[in-house]
Structure 1
Amino acid sequence: MRIRNRMIAALIGSAIVITAAVAPVDPAVATTAGNSGAGSKKPRIIVMQDGEVDDMDSFIRLLYYSNEFNIAGVVYTSSKYHWAGDGAQVAPYRWTGTKWVSSYLDKYATVYPNLRKHADGYPSPERLRSVYKVGNVENVGEMAKVTAGSELIRKAILDDDSSPLYLLAWGGNNTAARALKSIQEQYQGTARWSAIQQKVNKKVVIYNILNQDDTLSGYIKPNWPNIKIIDNQSQFWSFAYLWTRQVPAANQPYLRAPFMEQSLLTGKGSLLAEYRTYRDGKPTPGDDENTRWQPDANTDYAVHDFISEGDSPSFLYLLDFNGLRSSENPTFGGWGGRFAPSASGWIDTSDVNPTTGNADRAYPQTRWVADLQNDFAARASWGVSARYSGANHNPRAAVAEGTDLRRKPGAKVVLHGRGTDPDGGALSYRWWQYTDADSYAGAITLTGANSRDASFTVPADAKPGDAIHLILEVSDGGAPPLKHYQRVVVTVG
């Protein structure tokens, strides 16, 4: 049993009490925390990936953040870009095989002991191996066959855990469609069908990256029209192969070779040694069409420039440990982008890019690039740091008044921010209005934007029900520099 010192900021009424705590970490608890099913406060996710290079890189990042999730499944699917073939009539296309997932989990096992010294709740490699299943992979959109992957999804949908089940579609939705089809075939026409429909509609949330087969539109939406869908059709490109066109120049250094080499690629262990970048000389077996690895190709990019994590926004959206509360409402926005209501749920939308002054479809994602890259760099260091003191850790932010307030037009709102740093470093503070997330159509005058405490007056033209979003950023001075946020939503009443 290991002992670590932590700084815990506890909100008691309207006062912040800061105490030093000595907390024992039980290895058995740390191994299984967040993965016990019912009652878990961690987002419960099933990853559905198709084995593309960016899926591989997204999977590596996910493993470093796996303590923040209840990972109920890692399911291999096909897509219009990758399929395995059936050994007879259907030939494989850009098929990267199924063994790389197991190989990555073996390499996760080498950093797992160190990761646990820096944060609780990392799932054991054995547990992750137990939920890795191959789904419908023979052809694009194939959903006729019941597979190990579809059965894992079906059982998770029907189990007794009432928490939301997020199906993260990094590839096609065909294996999820097969799972839902199996449920429909079992219960439609029975006395339980209505209750099953209600359960599925309440529980399942699909975070869809592009449309990588036709099963979402061809089967899921027509047969399960009330399943909630968060549809990322374009924002993901800003963290994928097209990032040079969409990420603002000020944030591009965090995706260029010097940052990647220093922060993620050099001396960070065997798992990150698998991380793919442009022109890095690491081919993807089976995917000969993808030539981005060739040192003499794609000369617009330096060797080791970021290549793509187009699927990471699906779980970055759920990372509420940072305080942005993005999973509470897709319109809030956070590390996984921001969304507007649509006929089937939500679809990616625009923020105003301050560099251009124009609505920018990518900016809800690209505005966070520096923060999320620094955060990943810190976790990369966790994996090779055998001592807690050997790496940087996130500060913690809190607001004495709370994070959901109700105020009348003309009322003065005073906010007292506080921060603590588990590493004992100095902290800086910044407040800003997230106008794109507001339902109030205007800007407030914020006093004390660069101090712990801030205030503003609710505008006289604000209408009942209007919401004003204030973000408090608490930053440390570590290497890399890390942040924690608090989102305060002031509703006009």
Structure 2
Amino acid sequence: MKLRTIITQDAEVDDQNSLRHFLYYANEVELQGIVQTSSKFHWVGIPGAVKPDKKSDDDFGGEYAEVSGPFDQPYRWPGTDWMMREIDDYEKDYPNLCKHAEGYPTPDYLRSITKIGNIGYEGEMEKATEGSNLIKERILDDDERTLYIQVWGGTNTVARALKDIQEEYENKPEWTELHAKITKKVVITACGEQDPAYKEYVAENWPGIQFIKTLQMQSYAYPWFVMPEGESKDTLKADFMEKEILSKDSALIKGYCTWLDGHEYEGEGPEGQFGANPNIVNDWFGARFLKIVPQKYDFLSEGDSPTFFILLPWGTRTLEDVTYGGVAGRYHKVDFKNSKGEDCNVWDVSKDIYVDKDGNESEQESMWLYVADIQRDFAARVAWAADGSYEKGEHSPKLSVEQGVDITAAKGDVVTLTASAENPDKLDTAISFRVYKDASADCAADVKLEVSDNTAKITISESAKSGDLIHIMVKAESNGHYRLFDYKQVIITVK
């Protein structure tokens, strides 16, 4: 059964990139809404609205705006028509995508679930909107599946939906039971906090709703240039982007934005024209990121995309427990309480050890290891849209582990894992194993791993204690142009 999800976004250029990227994967989940919201970076303005006289920090650790005063004027506002334009592009690619995989939603269905939410100003949730009503209906429906709400901008439209539910039901006998049901049902995957709505409303009234900050700015957003060299970084550079992604005859990718590519962004001033303003390299980017100079067609940003990467069926077990890690990164619980002293269910990105191309180890955002996998998979999907021939496309292998993915063992035991992979393209497929120490108990540092062909023998260290978890990442990688992959995350529990 597919996961179900709603996208909310504030129309930042990287949100627009993320939506284009997501639509290549729209067959993998059940999308139930695309809702435009506002954020501290973008709003349409409401006559008479007044902005508090304060400064806020942006996601780079610096002040994003010094202007206080009226909220009655647009601020970096790109309009709302762009969503339908992207769906129009998806409609052109849709026939070819359907030849490679089942389950792509029709363009008309996407149009029917695309709504405008609360867009007035930063944190605006003055009244119900079409977008908040859509979210409210999905929260209250009879579907027992978890509802994953992606937040690419502010949380305000989600907060408005929850507020309307609270106002309608809190004085009714079923409120306690309904509140508990919604708290369990809703999971928010958010690109940080881009307005005060989470802290000021959601945390105060729904502290148990899981709020996962998937923000990994250095791995997949504007500052990626500062990351260590290696394959992940190579797939974000202009050579890979131009050759493997931008050159393909896909309508969706023709509107995808990269550094200095000539694209002009509606509503942005010169300081936000990353595609069309050559001076921005020094004026904005160089001043922030150690004078590193982007090249034409370098990856720009998809800072919001980890909110849906975490949902894709890539074989890791992040949603089972976000401390387990995976392609979308690993997360840890944040010690955050609301004004009532209640513990809030907030999670933030953990760091993992990354080995660069020269063998140097460093702690990096836990998604960085997988960016090359993500980019090659993305490139393969763009190629699907460009050519409807299944035989010419590449498709991911399917990995299996004979012993299963949950194993119990005692210290000193030798655990054997035997893996195999089916490749739909009849390509050779390599299988590898590694001990995922960052997600495992301390004893994993002493685990002995021996690999022969497609079999691994794992010797549980004598330092292991009852209840320790040892994570083994098994990977199948196709020997094709895009080296497509599948993972299985085996967890050994020490008895």
TM-score relative to the length of structure 1 = 0.88
Q: Which residue is 1:447 aligned to?
A: 450
Residue among 1, 10, 17 paired with 1:57: 17
| TM-fit CA distance, 1:144 | 1.2
Q: Which amino acid aligns with 1:409?
A: K
CA contact (8 A) 1:229 1:345 kept: yes
Residue among 74, 97, 101 paired with 1:115: 97
Residue among 401, 409, 412 paired with 1:410: 412
| TM-fit CA distance, 1:76 | 0.3
Q: Is it true that 1:163 corresponds to 2:132 in the alignment?
A: no
3-state DSSP of counterpart to 1:171: coil
Deviations 1:276-327 (A, max 9, x none): 00001101111124121125231611111000000000110111x2211222
| TM-fit CA distance, 1:192 | 1.3
Q: Which amino acid aligns with 2:223?
A: L
- Trace 1:72-471 onto structure 2 (pairs within 5 A): 72-86=32-46, 90-233=72-215, 235-288=216-269, 289-294=271-276, 296-297=278-279, 298=281, 300-319=293-312, 321-343=313-335, 344-355=345-356, 356-360=360-364, 362=365, 364-443=366-445, 444-448=447-451, 451-471=453-473
CA contact (8 A) 2:212 2:348 kept: yes
CA contact (8 A) 1:256 1:306 kept: yes
In structure 1, distance between residues paired with 2:93 and 2:106: 11
3-state DSSP of counterpart to 2:477: strand
3-state DSSP of counterpart to 1:447: strand
In structure 1, distance between residues paired with 2:195 and 2:456: 48
CA contact (8 A) 1:332 1:437 kept: yes
In structure 1, distance between residues paired with 2:198 and 2:443: 35
Q: Which moved more, 1:106-115 or 1:87-96?
A: 87-96
3-state DSSP of counterpart to 2:222: coil
Superposed CA RMSD in Å reads 1.4
Deviations 1:210-249 (A, max 9, x none): 210001001100111111111235x233210011112544
In structure 1, distance between residues paired with 2:472 and 2:482: 25
Q: Is it true that 1:71 corresponds to 2:31 in the alignment?
A: yes
Q: Which amino acid aligns with 1:263?
A: E
Q: Which amino acid aligns with 2:391?
A: S
CA contact (8 A) 2:217 2:223 kept: no
Q: Which amino acid aligns with 1:63?
A: L
Q: Which amino acid aligns with 1:219?
A: Y
Q: Which moved more, 1:390-399 or 1:73-82?
A: 390-399
Gaps of 5+ in 1: 1-40
In structure 2, distance between residues paired with 1:434 and 1:254: 23
TM-score relative to the length of structure 2 = 0.88
In structure 2, distance between residues paired with 1:322 and 1:267: 24
Gaps of 5+ in 2: 50-71, 283-292, 336-344
In structure 1, distance between residues paired with 2:421 and 2:307: 28
In structure 2, distance between residues paired with 1:66 and 1:118: 13
| TM-fit CA distance, 1:253 | 1.4
CA contact (8 A) 1:236 1:313 kept: no
| TM-fit CA distance, 1:88 | 6.0
| TM-fit CA distance, 1:347 | 1.4
| TM-fit CA distance, 1:80 | 0.3
In structure 2, distance between residues paired with 1:260 and 1:388: 23
| TM-fit CA distance, 1:358 | 3.6
In structure 1, distance between residues paired with 2:44 and 2:419: 53
CA contact (8 A) 2:443 2:463 kept: no
In structure 2, distance between residues paired with 1:60 and 1:87: 32
CA contact (8 A) 1:466 1:492 kept: yes
Deviations 1:67-118 (A, max 9, x none): 1111111110000000011256510000001000000001101111111111
